[in-house]
């Protein structure tokens, strides 16, 4: 079936009236489809998104999902929509096909697709791959779970272009034909257990990124990650590995340098100390990204040039400068415990930690070993604050704050020059904020407010 046959005059149900859902609706209508959007949120909650729909003339419903969705030829799910809700179960009973927004968007992409998944480092690696490909002379289009929906750009990518797409388990849950030319699984640690139930289910969903790949495609894996079971990944794609521990990998990074092995010969691309973004976890991200772009023969000199200047991404270990000698770091994108652990390892000073939000089934006790000699105080926020207090209160001083501003002020009063206040929540943001970006911005505004009220000011730097 051609893309036109899949779209033209088809009734296309779309669940979720946010950026992904609206982008999918616009893409469907552009190619002759008849979209109908549905959201459980009220008109008041949807705000500007609803105004856009009304001005576009789309059919939609709010405040819940009715059986009108079941009249669709198929249904597209926005990433945040659980497959366990009643309307989805009804759709399955009636054999109405379900597709993720990523799957739907991929039908229109004429260029190659590089797809990045994993528990941590996806956004940094996706962004870096985009930068490296651009430096190598390619038209690279970065999208997906990184913030820009794939649907918004997929049909604009030329045949010689490359889509670099960040993929979550939510999106992999309902793929059918999604087939990346290059797929990466960066690492695996427990996450989204509130939705998927078990770590094993979560891992199996991650492995789906490779299920449609064939022998002319490439699957890149972390050789050091013991949770990635290479034997469980059913694919005929070529496999390559990146590593910080084994020289027997396509890309190997150590304290001395970053190496690419081509036909048994290892070439040093760059000295490790010259790489701009800090931390062992980022060295893994760099190795993964280099492995991906070497598939497209990006030159070593271009790679080194980018790595010397790439600053990382907003809301991920983002340095906010100092106030009265105290450093502030915005790591709002750390939505699971392994991300928080990466942040603790990357910061060398004593840490005053802001954590909490909507719990995803996290085991906060995992922070005890890593933070024992580093964390001075924890301020717990959001729905998970009671759980944080229960699991960490015996090992750390744990305070509770109702707002981000209160949390920042509490820790500013406790910290001394040379120490760090770190926002690294280990939780989702949806109890207090629209997304982790908004949470990070509120943190930055709170730091700015402190700065404006102090005489020992220092400029915000990134």
With a cut of 70, which residues of the chain have pLDDT below it?
191-197, 454-462
- Residue 457: predicted pLDDT: 41
- Residue 37: predicted pLDDT: 97
Q: What is the CATH number of the domain that holds 14?
A: 3.40.50.720
- Residue 192: predicted pLDDT: 63
Question: Of the residues 275, 307, 339, which one is the last residue of a structural domain?
Answer: 307
From residue 25, how far is each of 48, 77, 456 by CA, in Å? 16, 11, 51
Residues 88 and 120 in one domain: no
Surface-to-core class of residue 263, CB atoms within 10 Å of its CB (0-12 exposed, 13-18 middle, 19+ buried): exposed
Question: Of the residues 260, 276, 307, which one is the last residue of a structural domain?
Answer: 307
Split into its structural domains, the chain has a count of 3
Residues 233 and 370 in one domain: no
- Residue 195: predicted pLDDT: 67
Helix (H, G, I), strand (E, B) or coil at 429: coil
Q: What is the CATH number of the domain that holds 257?
A: 3.40.1190.10
Q: Residue 118: which domain range? A: 103-307
With respect to residue 461, please indicate whether it lies within any of the assigned structural domains. no
- Residue 177: predicted pLDDT: 96
Question: Of the residues 38, 69, 96, which one is the last residue of a structural domain?
Answer: 96
Question: How many alpha carbons fall within 13 Å on the CB side of residue 158?
Answer: 5
Cross-strand partners of 351: 375, 420
- Residue 338: predicted pLDDT: 87
With respect to residue 143, please indicate whether it lies within any of the assigned structural domains. yes
- Residue 447: predicted pLDDT: 96
- The helix (run of H) or strand (run of E) holding residue 126 is helix 122-135
- Residue 460: predicted pLDDT: 39
- Residue 459: predicted pLDDT: 38
Q: What is the CATH number of the domain that holds 325?
A: 3.90.190.20
With respect to residue 401, please indicate whether it lies within any of the assigned structural domains. yes
- Residue 461: predicted pLDDT: 36
């Amino acid at each position: 079936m051609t893309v036109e046959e899949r779209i033209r005059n088809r009734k296309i149900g779309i669940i979720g009236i946010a950026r992904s859902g609206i982008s999918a609706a616009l893409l469907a209508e552009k190619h002759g489809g008849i979209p109908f959007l549905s959201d459980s949120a009220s008109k008041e909650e949807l705000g500007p998104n609803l105004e856009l729909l009304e001005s576009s003339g789309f059919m939609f419903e709010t405040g819940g999902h009715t059986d009108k969705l079941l009249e669709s030829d198929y249904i597209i799910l926005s990433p945040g929509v659980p497959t366990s809700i009643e309307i989805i179960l009804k759709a399955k009973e009636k054999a109405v096909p379900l597709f993720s927004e990523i799957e739907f968007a991929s039908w229109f992409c004429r260029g190659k697709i590089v797809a990045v998944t994993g528990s941590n480092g996806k956004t940094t690696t996706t962004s870096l791959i985009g930068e490296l490909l651009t430096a190598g002379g390619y038209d690279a289009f970065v999208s997906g779970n990184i913030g820009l929906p794939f649907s918004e750009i997929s049909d604009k990518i030329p045949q010689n272009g490359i889509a670099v797409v960040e993929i979550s388990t939510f999106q992999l849950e309902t793929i059918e034909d999604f087939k990346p030319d290059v797929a990466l699984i960066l690492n695996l640690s427990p996450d989204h257990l509130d939705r998927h139930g078990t770590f094993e289910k979560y891992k199996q969903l991650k492995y789906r990124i490779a299920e449609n790949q064939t022998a002319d495609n490439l699957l890149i894996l972390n050789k050091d990650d013991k949770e990635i079971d290479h034997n469980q990944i059913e694919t005929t794609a070529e496999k390559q590995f990146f590593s910080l521990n084994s020289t027997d990998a396509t890309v190997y990074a150590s304290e001395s340098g970053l190496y690419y092995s081509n036909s048994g010969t290892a070439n040093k691309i760059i000295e490790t100390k010259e790489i701009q973004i800090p931390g062992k976890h980022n060295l893994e991200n760099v190795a993964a990204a280099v492995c991906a772009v070497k598939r497209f023969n990006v030159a070593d000199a271009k790679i080194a040039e980018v790595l010397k200047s790439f600053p990382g991404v907003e809301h991920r270990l983002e340095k906010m400068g100092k106030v009265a000698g105290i450093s502030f770091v915005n790591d709002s994108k750390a939505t699971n415990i392994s991300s928080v652990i990466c942040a603790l390892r990357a910061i060398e000073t004593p840490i005053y930690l802001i954590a909490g939000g909507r719990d995803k089934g996290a085991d906060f006790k995992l922070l005890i070993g890593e933070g024992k000699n580093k964390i001075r105080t924890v301020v717990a926020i959001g729905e998970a604050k009671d759980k944080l207090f229960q699991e960490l209160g015996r090992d750390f001083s744990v305070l509770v704050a109702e707002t981000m501003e209160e949390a920042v002020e509490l820790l500013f009063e406790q910290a001394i020059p040379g120490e760090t206040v770190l926002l690294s929540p280990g939780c989702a943001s949806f109890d207090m904020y629209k997304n982790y970006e908004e949470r990070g911005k509120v943190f930055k505004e709170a730091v700015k407010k402190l700065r404006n009220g102090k005489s020992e000011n220092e400029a915000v730097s990134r």
